[in-house]
Structure 1
């Protein structure tokens, strides 16, 4: 709410109170002209938003009517879009909504074929990984090459000690000799981040996952895993990924990386199981791709 009360004249429109998976919306007739107003008393924690229709005079013996709709229910986008233009936007996907909308459309399409939201998440994750297969391969190749020259990098660090300038020059010479770009592993990841963030919000905001079962003990993809199996698997897969990555030469960075799987596992304990399922599948696919690429590069280097 703004500091000053809002007073606008609008044709049609709607007002809504939004919860996570639910919305209550007042929807006047699309052809009616109404006054939108807001009031706020922040000290008392009181907020008001509403419509007022134009004054209507009903003469004796005459009648008139005002039509409006009241919706109170789940935020199902298709149903909300039918009620009023833009009402489906109460499903808040954040600033990457245009990507999230497309991902949700694909998720719905998969559900139409598979009939299970859990398997739809699995296959959506697979399709996203396939879409970024070549970008991920570039990143993993860079990491594998960095891992291959780690012994030489450690030797340079020990040789020059605190002489940062000479150590940096020696590192650059090593990169040029081995044809390694130290930032090549980061750029593909940055390109993929908007899609991964959009997919996160897609899974967090979709009411369709509420009370939707997957298999075995996962009976609600919108609720936390009550036995913590998926978060623990996620932590293990994250640790395996770290083993495949080049290890930092700085002891402090190495310690921080070691505790990251534990920290993320604790965070994921209370996350919706559908979201954790996405992370698990994504990590497993990443491990498989990275392991193959790492073995190929290390095998080629051993033959030289």
Structure 2
């Protein structure tokens, strides 16, 4: 590995350090708090249809809607939701799905902590809910259709379960009867079947819509560059990820009555909000056109996504039906994949943020998921995945380690060439190339496995950081959450002393590292002792300090990632040690540290110079 390649590795490491320091010193700005209990208006959740034609694409024009503002009525009747995965209620005021908790997930690793709350009604700390209705078109006004505050009646059903749907009904008193049938599966998918029956004497037009409204940003927003949190949507195979900052910068849209962005979806698509581990998504009936709308109310700080289906004409005596689904739950890989493969939600697996290296992160997680199912522990699955990766790269690694061993042996001759060449860089390069050619050594081959490890490392980092399956996943002993940093600390001598460890993310936590980061530093140091050391004194000093710098840098990283890196270092060290021994070299790691290794006198003579 020549100086140029060492400089490349050094530059990569230093760049990584600069990025880390930047995010510590200059974290993203926090958003000013907004009033979460601002009242719901008629315009919120009630776009108006603009085209009476039954086959014309739907559009929204919130500026045409009128009505009085009203907040959630405290004593509004509710229907219970009970499934193996969810619990919550549906408010009959607006027919909103506005209270939803995830039974199988808790806020912390404490078994007594609260279960995760996904949706909350107006009046709570963070209102977040789903609305459905019909936008009025020709022959109708805003008062003729159900809105955000319409009080529905229960026509059938008592509790919404996977085996018992419920049906709501509302008669506008002017010839239109609206029904809304709600059903839910055993995971996180709701089905909403809206129908309207025209018992009047005039033809009307209207368009079915669905809305997700979120008052303010989520409290646990990470604001980390590796993770997307915000609006997400799929439109005819094109994925869009929009940050909250970008939504707030939308220009005013006169047709929407608010800053908004409208996308025409011709065939398949969905839109909603994604958090780190949870998601809500509106999924209109696939195969039919609709408009996907994202908007922001700057006055009340409300983010909103809409799906508005085609406007339809309804003659007297006719009934029109619109189907929509709502995903509201955890981003479980197997569950979301089933919705995509078995239930036709196109591109739904892309709702998990796989990143730029999706061609690596997707298969890496698929293998990790399979190993976890086989072994039953995500920590050992990470180690198993590391072993599989090393086996795949073994042929390349073998050539690399052999080349590195030869380069180590040639270092005395390389030093002589540098001394004789002096400051003549051209002569130095020519004589070095002649030496490489004579000894049949490729200095770049030693760097290739390292370069391949960089995208694999970042891909696994991405997988460990974004996937739900690592959340609260235990490994051994004190490691009870692989998605969190090592909770042990030198501050209390890793649990020997009675006082608690520093809070994760604090300065003390970065200084007083845990057991895993310490093991990482030692494993990096051991691996480094088998590699040719730089001849330049400055580079030599930097490389000597690098394991310990990385030890402190990665102390606050997810434990799963540190476990991977330790396993990778240990396996790499073992491979390299055995390959060097097979080539007639005896690494002397714990002897003369500065010499690196010595020739094994008992090994067969290869004809090489010492």
Query: Structure 2-normalised TM-score?
Result: 0.46
CA deviations on 1:101-152 (whole Å, 9 max, x unpaired) are 2222222221222111111111111111111111111111111111111122
| Paired residue secondary structure (1:51) | strand
1:255 is aligned to 541
| Paired residue secondary structure (1:269) | helix
Give the structure with the larger strand fraction.
2
| Paired residue secondary structure (2:292) | strand
1:295 is aligned to 581
1:230 is aligned to 516
CA distance in 2, matches of 1:41, 1:158: 71
2:433 is aligned to 172
- Higher mean alpha-carbon deviation, 286-295 vs 92-101, is at 92-101
Please report how far the alpha carbon of residue 57 of structure 1 lies from its aligned counterpart in structure 2 after TM superposition.
5.6
Could you say if the C-alpha distance between residues 269 and 188 of structure 1 is closer, same or farther in structure 2, counting changes exceeding 3 Å?
Answer: closer
1:14 is aligned to 270
Provide the alpha-carbon RMSD of the alignment: 2.8
- Higher mean alpha-carbon deviation, 88-97 vs 268-277, is at 88-97
Could you say if the C-alpha distance between residues 15 and 122 of structure 1 is closer, same or farther in structure 2, counting changes exceeding 3 Å?
Answer: same
Please report how far the alpha carbon of residue 285 of structure 1 lies from its aligned counterpart in structure 2 after TM superposition.
0.2
| Paired residue secondary structure (2:446) | coil
Give the structure with the larger helix fraction.
1
Query: Structure 1-normalised TM-score?
Result: 0.88
Could you say if the C-alpha distance between residues 241 and 222 of structure 1 is closer, same or farther in structure 2, counting changes exceeding 3 Å?
Answer: same
| Contact 2:473-2:483 at 8 Å conserved across structures | yes
- Taking the TM superposition and a 5 Å limit, the aligned residue runs for 1:108-257 are 108-191=369-452, 193-227=454-488, 228-257=514-543
2:558 aligned with 1:267: no
1:26 is aligned to 282
Please report how far the alpha carbon of residue 173 of structure 1 lies from its aligned counterpart in structure 2 after TM superposition.
2.7
CA deviations on 1:255-274 (whole Å, 9 max, x unpaired) are 22122212322221121111
CA distance in 2, matches of 1:45, 1:266: 40
| Contact 1:76-1:88 at 8 Å conserved across structures | no
| Paired residue secondary structure (2:441) | coil
Could you say if the C-alpha distance between residues 252 and 301 of structure 1 is closer, same or farther in structure 2, counting changes exceeding 3 Å?
Answer: farther
Unaligned runs of 5+ in 1: none
| Paired residue secondary structure (1:101) | helix
Q: Specify which structure has the bigger relative contact order, considering alpha-carbon pairs within 8 angstroms and separated by 6 or more residues.
A: 1
Q: Which has the larger radius of gyration?
A: 2
Please report how far the alpha carbon of residue 170 of structure 1 lies from its aligned counterpart in structure 2 after TM superposition.
2.5
Unaligned runs of 5+ in 2: 1-241, 252-260, 340-344, 489-513, 586-599
Aligned length: 304
Please report how far the alpha carbon of residue 187 of structure 1 lies from its aligned counterpart in structure 2 after TM superposition.
3.0
Please report how far the alpha carbon of residue 54 of structure 1 lies from its aligned counterpart in structure 2 after TM superposition.
3.0
1:36 is aligned to 292
